[in-house]
Chains A and B, each alone.
Chain A
Amino acid sequence: MKPLNEQITEVISEEPVALFMKGTPQMVMCGNSMRALQALHAAGAPITTVDILPDPQIRQELSAISGWPTIPQVFVNGELLGGADITEELYESGELQRKLDDALGADRSQDVKVVALELS
């Protein structure tokens, strides 16, 4: 099994849009995670979610990698976009859609998938 920080780095670098959140799209456990999910969805993003709740270490490792203290965290093409406030603000200004168009093309997939990290 790969160390947790490597698994997290892999999701960030390999998934077009990665959303680290509390819960899953089917069962969102926090209002802010919901705000980020909804903004991404409304902007027509493909979304890969990772639930950080199963182990407190996930959040620790993630924040160590990103330098961002809170959950949710959104990454586009490996780069930290921000948390719920920024994602929502960028969606409302139309910039999120533009960023996604630039990064992933206008005819991008809008699939939602869930990645579960392997815990020791």
Chain B
Amino acid sequence: MLLEQAFPAADRIEVEDRTGGGDHFQVTVESADFDGLSLIDQHRRVNEALAAPFADGSIHELRIKTKGTG
């Protein structure tokens, strides 16, 4: 899965299908990859990891929650 590839060191990756329709997701990522990054850069990393499904429309809406390990 894309998030696992992008954040191999993650302590926690959760994906919730918010509407059951398979295109509105809540993702939660806790990873040392985020240590020292601002919230906005953390979200950028998640958006980048999911750029392909965003571009082809398979993700319609994404809610992101990120956390470093610090």
Contact = CB atoms under 8 A, between A and B. Distances in A.
Nearest to A80: B40
A7 interface: no
Interface stretch (A49-57, A81-89, A102-110, A112-120): A81-89
Contacts of B61: 32
B62 A70 contact: yes
Contacts, number: 26
Secondary structure of the B contact surface, majority rule: helix
A120 B43 CA distance: 33
Contacts of B40: 80-82, 86
A82 B47 contact: no
A90 interface: yes
Interface residues of B, number: 12
B44 A85 contact: no
15 contacts: A67-B44, A69-B51, A69-B54, A70-B62, A80-B40, A81-B40, A82-B39, A83-B43, A85-B43, A85-B64, A85-B65, A86-B39, A86-B40, A86-B43, A89-B39
Query: Nearest 8 CB-CB pairs, A to B?
Result: A82-B40, A85-B64, A86-B39, A69-B47, A85-B63, A86-B43, A82-B43, A69-B54
